[in-house]
Structure 1
Amino acid sequence: MQIMKVDPRALKENPDRMRQTKSSPQADALMLATIKAVGIVQPPVVAPQTDGGNGYIIDAGHRRVRLAIAAGLDEIEILVADAANDNGAMRSMVENSVREPLTPVDQWRGIERLVALGWTEEAIAVALALPVRQIRELRLLANVLPAMLEQMALGDMPSEQQLRIIAAAAQVDQKEVWKAHKPKKGDTAPWWQIANALTKKRMYARDASFGDDLAQAYGIEWVEDLFAPADQDGRYTTNVEGFLGAQHEWMTSNLPKRGAIVEVNSWGQPELPKKASQVYGKPSKSDHTALYLDRDGKVQTVHYRMPEVAKPKGAADDGSSAGSNSNAVAPPKIRPDVTQKGHDMIGDFRTDALHDALGRAPIEDDMLMALMVLAFAGQNVRVDSGADGTFYGGKRFSRHAVRLFDEHGKLAFDQDTLRVAVRSVLIDVLSCRRGMSNSGMVSRIAGEAIGADEYLPNMGSEEFLLCLSRQALEASCGEASVQPRSKVRETRAALVEHFANEHFVHPAGRFAPPADELLDWIRAGAATDVIGSGGHEDDDGHGEDLGEQQEVHAGEKRDHDDPQDVDVGSEGEHDQDFDQRAAA
C-alpha cells in the first residue's frame, strides 16, 4: 500500500460496500467535530478503478470521506491498495466487521455478495471467524419482506426461532401480518406476535410411521430443516391434515391382535374403553392394545385390561341355573344378532373404509360428482364430520375450494387438482359413525358404489365377536367352516383363531343397504321433491326409518347413562340391558 493525498470529492463510492445502513445523526455529528479538530486519524482505503478509469474507488471509509467533504477539507490522506478480484467485497466486509459490528442485514448483504462471487458458506465462515450456522441463519433474510428488513436494519432483530418462522412464510402472508403489527416510528417490532401469526405447525418425518407410498398418496412433501442437529432427521411438512391422515391409515393397516384405535382427551391422554384399566407392566396375551396419535402426531401404544365378566348368581358352567325350579318355564330370551356396541364398531369400520376408498380407489369423474351430490343430501350436513369434528360448512370447505383458484383469484385448475378437492370434501362429509355425524343411507350407497367393502378391516377380533349373539356366531361358523362349540366363548375363541389369518367381514357390516330401506329412502326423497317448499310431510327424507333412528339414539343414551350396559356373551350369552328389558 502507498499513502497519497487527494481531494475527497474525487473519490468514488463503491456500489458493493458492505455497510449500507445509515449511521445515527449523533454519531455523524461526533465524527464531524473530530475531523474539524484533528483531521482524519485513519486514512480511508481505496483501490484503483478496474473499469478503465483513472480514479479511485473507496474500499473502506465511505463515512470518513463523506464527513471530510462536509467539514470543507480540500485534501485528505488515503491508503491505495491493489485492486481485488472481488471488487474488495471480502476486504470491505472484514474491515467493517472489525471496526464496528455490521447490522445483521448488512452482514447478510455482504454474505450474498460473496456467494454471488463464488464463495461458499464454509469459506465465508472461516474468513469471518463465524459459525456456519450463523451464516445460514443470516441467509434466511433473503426470504424476509423488505419492509421488515428495514426494521431489522435498525438493529431491531427477532430471535433465531422467530426469524426462521418469518422466513418460512410466503411474502403475501408476511405482508398481511406486517400490516397488522407494524410498529410506530421509533418503537421495536412485536416479533413474537408476528412469528405467532405466521406459525404453521410442523410434523416431522422422524415421527412418521408411514412410508413413502402413503406420503405420496396424501400429498406430503418433506422440507429440510437446516437447523436440525446433524445426527437427526430434520425433514418436516406443514401439511398437518395429510400427515395425520397417513398416520391414521397406517394404524388401521397395522392393528395388532386385540388392537383398537382410540381418541385422546384434552390433556392428550388416550381415552380407553369404559372400565378398562391401563397395563403399565408387561402385558399378558389376554390384554388389549390401543393405538393413538399424540399431540405431535406420533403413533403411541398403550395396553389395557378389561374386567372379567361376572357370572349371574347360580349359573353353572353349562349356562343352566343351579337349584332352579325345574317345572318353571323361563320366558324365551332373544338376543339381537349385533349389539349396540357392535353397530357402533360397524359404523367406525364403514367410515374408515369409506374414507380409504375415497382417497385411493379408482373413481370416474362423473361418479365423483354424483357422490358429491349424495354427500350433501346426507343427514349430517351441518356438518358433523366423521373425519375431524363438527363444523359449519363455509370456512371449513374453503380450504378445499382455494385449491381451485390461481394467484390472481381466478378459478383455474386442472383435473388432478379438482379430483383431490372433491375427494377431500367427500371425506369431510360422508360418515357412517353412529350419532350426530352419521350421514345415513347416503354413506352406505356411496361406499357400495366405490367398493369400500374392500377397505373394511378384519372383524374377526375378540372385541367385535363379543358383540355377536350365539346365533350370529354360529352363522359365522357356517360361513367359515368352523364347527360350533357347546359354549359360546369356545365358539368365539375358535372363530378368533380361524380369522387370525383370514379376512372376516360380518354381513351386517357391509355397505350395501337392505333393498326395502333403500326403496323407502328413494320414495321419501321423491315425495319431498314433489311436495316442494310449499308442502309439508312428516318424513324428513333422510335415509332411515324414524323408528330405527329413535331406537338407535335411545340405545346410545342407554349406553352413556347405564354403566352396567356391558356385553356378557362369554357366559350368559345376553346383554344385561337386553335381559332387563326382556324381563320387563
Structure 2
Amino acid sequence: MEIKLIDPRSLVENPDRTRRSKSSPQSDALLLATIKAVGIVQPPVVAPQTDGGNGFVIHSGHRRVRQAIAAGLEEIAVLVGEPTEDGGAMRSMVENIARENLNPVDQWRAIERLVALGWTEEAIAVALALPIRQIKKLRLLANVLPVMLDHMAKGDMPDERQLRTIAAASLDEQKEVWKAHKPSKGDPQVSWWSVANGLARTRMYARDASFGDDLAQAYGIAWVEDLFAPADQDSRYTVDVEAFLGAQQEWMSQNLPKKGVITEANNYGEVKLPPKASRVYGTPKKSDHTAMYLDREGKVKTVHFRMPEAKKTKGNGAGADAADEPIVVSKPRPDVTRKGVEMIGDLRTDALHDALSRAPIEDDTLMALMVLAFAGQNVRVDSGAGGDYRFGNRFGRHAAILFDADGKLAFDMDTLRVAMRSVLIDVLSCRENMTKSGILALVAGQIVGADGFLASMGTEDFLSCLSRPALEASCKDTPVLPRQRVKDTRAALVEHFSDGHFVHPTALFAPDALALGEWLTSNAPVGDEDDAASVVDPAGYDGDAPVEPTHDDTDVVDEDYADGFREAAE
C-alpha cells in the first residue's frame, strides 16, 4: 500500500460497504471535532475503481471521509491498496467487527498522557467532543488504588456511584478495604458494592449549608465537587462533618431572631420544643417564638411555636407580660461536642483506673471508696473496664483470691488491698454510656489524684471536638496565636502539644458543687426510719434479740412489717 494525498470529495463510496445503518449525530459530532482538532489519525483505505473510472473507491473509512468534507479539508491522506475481487467487502467487515472501544481505564491513562504533554482538560474535551465533566470524571481514576485500576482494566468496572465513593477515599483506606474484598482465584469478580460500602463516608453538601464562605474558611471546610451528580445542581460536598455542623451552629447563633431559640431534633428527626409549647403550622403571630435546629442531613430548619398564655394575677397584674419573657436561653455550639464528652469519659475512666491501680491510697480511704463505688448510678453492676460484664464472673474472681486452698476465707491486708482495688476498677466508670457511675466517680478520682493520670488531649481527634471559642481559649499560656481558620489553629496546637501534655479543664476530676449538693440532699438519711431500718449500732446490739428477716429482693416493704421491725430495733 502507498499513501497519497487526495481531495476527499473525489472519493467514491463503496456500494458493498458493511456498515449501512446511519451513525448517531453524537458520534458524528465527536468525529468531526477530533478531525478539526488533530486531523485524521487513521487514513481511510481506498482502491482504484474497476469499472473503468479513474477515481478511487472507499473500502474503509466512509465516516472519516464524510466528516473531513464537513470540516472543509482540501486534502486528506489515504492508503491506496490493490483492487479485490469482492470489492473490499471482507476488508470492510473485518475493519468494523474487529474494532474495540477503549475501556475507561485506558481512556484515563491516555488523557493523563495528554495532560503530561501540556494539553488542558478543556482542550482535550474539545478535541474529543466530550463534556468537560466527562474528562474530570475519567481523571477521578487517578485517585484509585493502582491494583484496583489493573483489575478495572480487565473489564470489571464499578458503576459511577461506586467509583465516586472509591475515588473519594484515601489510598490507605482503599488498600485496607481491597485486602478484604479483592478477588480470589476461584471468583475473579469483585463485589464493588462491598468495596464502596466499606469506603462510604457521610457527605455534607454545600447546597444544604446556610453559612457562607467566611465561616467555611474559618472552619477549614474545603468543598469537593461531586462530578457524578447532575450538572444543574450545586454538587459540592465535604466529609468533615464536625466542621460543617459547627459552622451551621455558629450561623444559627449569629442569625437567631429576637424571640428565637436553638434546639435539637429528636430520634425521629422532629424538632424538640420547650415544655408546654405548641407548634404553629400557619402564619405566626408577633407573640410567637422561633425555633432553629439541624435536621438529620445537617440542614438548618426553622419552625414557630406558641407558649400558653400566662394567667393574669389580681392586683398589679404582674403576670400579664409573662408570655413575653424568654422561654429558653438559646445556646451556641457547645464548647465540647458530644464526641468530645465521650472521649473525656473514656480518658477519665482510664485515668481513674490507673490511679486506683498505682496511686498510694490509705486503707480507710480505700474502704470509703468501696462504699462510694457501690452507690454509683451504674450499680447493677455494669463495668466500664471492658470484657465480661456479668457480675458473678468478674467480681467472683476478685473474691476468690481471698480464699485459701482449703476453701477458707484467709487473706492478709496486701491481698485485700489488691482485691478492693480490682473491684473499684470494675465498678467506677466515667464513660458516657450505661456504665457511668455519675458524680461519685469524679469524687473518687479527685480523692486518688486521677488528674495526674489523664492522657494528653492535645490531639487532632480531641481538639476537633472543641468549638472555636474553646479552641482559642486552649491557646492561653502557649505561644500559639489563634489563626483566621479554625483548622489552622487546631493544627498549630497539635504541633505544640506533640512534645507536651494538655488536659482540657472540662476533663479534670472536679465534681460540680451544686450537683454534688443535690446528690447529697437526695440521698440524705430520713430520720429514725432510716436509722432503724438500715443500720444497727454494733455497740448497742443485744445478742439475745431476734434477728428480723431482710427483704433485699423487694422494692416495697409492707408498712405493718416495717413498723414491727422498727419496734424490734428500738
- Which bracket does the TM-score occupy, shorter chain normalised? 0.3 to 0.5
